Amino acid sequence: MSKYEKDILNTVNLRGRVSVTELAEILQVSDQTIRRIVKPMVEDGRLSKVHGALVSTQNVLDPPFMARMEKNRAAKVAIANAVADRILDGAAIAIDTGSTSGYVAQALRARKNLTVVTNSAYIAAILAMTDGNRVFMAGTQLRNHDGAAFDRAAFDVIASVSVETAILSASQVHPSRGFMVFDQCEADMAAAMKHAAERSFMVVDSTKFSASGSSPALLLPELLPDDLIVTDRRPPPEFRELPGQAELVIADMQR
């Protein structure tokens, strides 16, 4: 399998569905080149083609991650743009595996010469295709539902780097307990990325601010005065006293 075939298969499997034009932009080749490369991949069943788009045949990857990518899409795009506005060309960043972080990665394609470390194959695939970027994939064993790595190799890579900004996400925000996730590995990775960074951006859409419902059990590291919380809407009054002292940034939904 060629490098282009691997990149195409990885991108399509993690997104579920990608247009030929978008793949050509990501790989920085022509539409004709993409069509030539994917023709045998469609013929042997590795991919499916529908109305100018390529569709993953590995359905196990689609529901959890792609459903999260599509949920509250407009809000996540606005948050991503607000984050990208605060990242300069040449910056060094760590990015976690959240769906909002995936949109941040897409927005960061407008930046140049980034150094990126991530444990998300989806994010690595997006940013590695931008000329001038240096992208380090943390980990070797990927989870089958979101293409994320949490093995020992992933933590070793994060521990070895120093970055300016960590882009973190959460499963839920509680008014008194703060930012939370379901899995211990995700809490540990957030702590490792925060430790490696000078500052952190917590990216969460407004639906994550909830005082009720099924609460994740694990707390993320408390945010500090230099950190930012980037969301699409001002949280309800009960969230005014969130733990930590991070600045709140409301993304512009009209962009």
The model carries a pTM of: 0.75
The mean pLDDT value of the chain amounts to: 89
Residue 202, CA distances (Å) to 28, 111, 194, 228 in order: 31, 20, 10, 6
Sheet with 47-50: list strands edge to edge: 17-19, 53-56, 47-50
Given a cut of 50, whether residue 63 has pLDDT beyond it is no
Proportion of the chain above pLDDT 90, given as a percent: 61
At 217, give phi and psi (nearest 5°).
-90, -15
Predicted pLDDT at 226: 95
| φ, ψ dihedrals at 252, nearest 5° | -80, 110
Q: Where are the domains of the chain?
A: 3-57, 65-250
CB atoms within 10 A of CB 73: 12
Is the pLDDT at 6 greater than 90? The verdict is no
- Of 16, 12, 14, the C-alpha closest to 34 is 12
Is the pLDDT at 152 greater than 70, yes or no? yes
Cβ-based neighbours of 43, under 8 Å, separated by 6 or more: none
Task: Tell me the pLDDT band of 2, cut-offs 50, 70 and 90.
Answer: confident
Residues in the chain: 255
In CATH terms, the fold of domain 3-57 is Arc Repressor Mutant, subunit A (1.10.10)
For residue range 113-143, what is the model confidence (pLDDT) as tens digits?
999 999 999 999 999 988 899 999 999 998 8
How many other C-beta atoms are found inside a 10 Å radius of the C-beta of residue 69?
Answer: 20
Q: Does residue 254 register a pLDDT over 90?
A: no
CATH code assigned to 65-250: 3.40.50.1360
Instruction: Please state, in angstroms and rounded to a whole number, the distance separating the CA atoms of residues 117 and 159.
Output: 11
Task: State residue 146's pLDDT score.
Answer: 82
Domains 3-57 and 65-250 share a fold: no
Q: 147 falls in which pLDDT band (50, 70, 90)?
A: confident
